[in-house]
Homo-oligomer: A and B are copies of this chain.
Amino acid sequence: MTDPAEPAGPGPVGIVAGGGRLPLEVAEAVEATGRKVVLACIDGEADLALDHPEAHVFRWGQVGGAVDFMTARGARDVVFVGTITRRPDFKAMRLDAGAWRRVPKILRVLVGGDDSVVRRALALVEEEGFRVRGIAEVAPGLLVKSGTLGRCEPEPDDLADAALGMKALGALGPYDVGQAAVVTRGRVVAIEAAEGTDRMLERVVELRKAGRVREQGGVLVKRSKPGQDLRTELPTIGASTIAGVAAARLSGVYLEAGRTLVADRKGTIAAADAARLFLVAGTDGEEGP
C-alpha cells in the first residue's frame, strides 16, 4: 500500500467517473495543471463524462479491465468523482477475469459496515498499486475561494447566521458529525448528521409548514470536518442543493472557503442567481489564531 501522504505525482490522473458534470470539470481542472487524464466511466452512471476523448466505459463487473486500462495509461494517481444513483446488480453482473480474482475482497467490502466501507475500498484500490487522491490534491483550482460567487450579496443578518453556523459546525468537528447546518436569524434550526444535506433542507421545509420555523430567510452553511478525509468526503453543493435552499425559503448558501466544492459551477451559480440566493465562500466564524 502506498503512502497517501506522498505528493501527487506528475503522470496522468485516473478518474473513476460517476454521474453529473463534476468528472468532466475535474478532468478539465487537472488538465489545466498540465497533467493528462484517463477516465474509467461507470456504465449507466457517467453519461456526461463519456464526452471526454480519454473516456472508456466499464461495467461494475469489469474491475480488472478498468484497473488494467488505467495501469496501461500510466495512471498511478486515481480520484473517484461523481454520483452513483443505482446500486450495482450483482446477479446481472458479468465479472471479468480481473474482477473474479478480486471478488472475495470486493464482496468483503460491499457487505461490510457503512462508514468503514469507503475506507476499506480505498485501501483495496491502493493495494492494486494506485494512490487514491482527492479533488483538492489533483485539481485544487476547483475548490471555492473566498468571495461572492453569484450576483446576490448577503445581508448583515445573513453573515451573522453564517458565522453562527460555522461556529456550531466547528464545535461539532471533533465528534465527526455535521457538514451542514441551517441557521435562521440567530437560531440553528437544523444540523446535518447521517441524513445528508438534501434531507436536512427538506426538514426545514417541513418545519416551516408546521410553524416551527417562522423567521424570514436564513442560511445553509457547509463546512468540512477537521481531519476529514477530503479524498472521499469533500463537502459539495450543486444545482439541486440550490433548489432545496429555495424550497426551504432561505436567503443563500455560505461555503467554507478552500475546503468545499461547487459541482457544475456555472449551472449552480446560474440557479442561485435565478432564485435570488446568495452564494458566498469565506472563513467567517472560524476560530482565530
Binding site for B on A (CB under 8 A): 113-115, 164, 167-168, 171-172, 174-178, 181-182, 187-191, 193-196, 199, 203, 206-207, 211-215
Counted per complex, copies of this chain come to 2
Tell me whether A188 and B195 are in contact (CB under 8 A). no
Q: Could you tell me the distance in whole angstroms from the C-beta of A262 to the nearest C-beta in chain B?
A: 24
Tell me whether B171 and A174 are in contact (CB under 8 A). yes
Q: Could you tell me the distance in whole angstroms from the C-beta of A2 to the nearest C-beta in chain B?
A: 28
Tell me whether B193 and A114 are in contact (CB under 8 A). no
Residue of B nearest to A190 (CB): B193
Give me the 7 closest cross-chain CB pairs, A-B, nearest first: A177-B188, A189-B194, A168-B175, A171-B171, A191-B191, A114-B214, A190-B193
Complex alpha-carbon distance, A164 and B177, angstroms: 11
Tell me whether B195 and A212 are in contact (CB under 8 A). yes
Complex alpha-carbon distance, A256 and B108, angstroms: 39
Complex alpha-carbon distance, A113 and B181, angstroms: 21
Tell me whether B195 and A178 are in contact (CB under 8 A). no
Q: Could you tell me the distance in whole angstroms from the C-beta of A28 to the nearest C-beta in chain B?
A: 32
Select the residue from A114, A182, A191 with max chain B CB neighbours within 10 A: A191
25 contacts between A and B (CB under 8 A): A113-B214, A113-B215, A114-B215, A115-B187, A168-B177, A171-B171, A171-B172, A171-B174, A172-B191, A176-B187, A176-B188, A177-B187, A177-B191, A178-B191, A188-B193, A189-B193, A189-B194, A190-B194, A191-B193, A194-B207, A194-B213, A195-B203, A195-B206, A196-B212, A203-B203
Complex alpha-carbon distance, A187 and B119, angstroms: 15
Other 20 A-B pairs with CB < 8 A, given A114-B213, A191-B193, A199-B203 = A113-B215, A114-B212, A114-B214, A114-B215, A115-B187, A168-B172, A171-B175, A172-B191, A176-B188, A177-B188, A177-B191, A178-B191, A187-B194, A189-B194, A190-B194, A191-B191, A194-B207, A194-B212, A195-B206, A195-B212
Q: Could you tell me the distance in whole angstroms from the C-beta of A222 to the nearest C-beta in chain B?
A: 16
Residues on B with C-beta less than 8 A from A164 are: 175
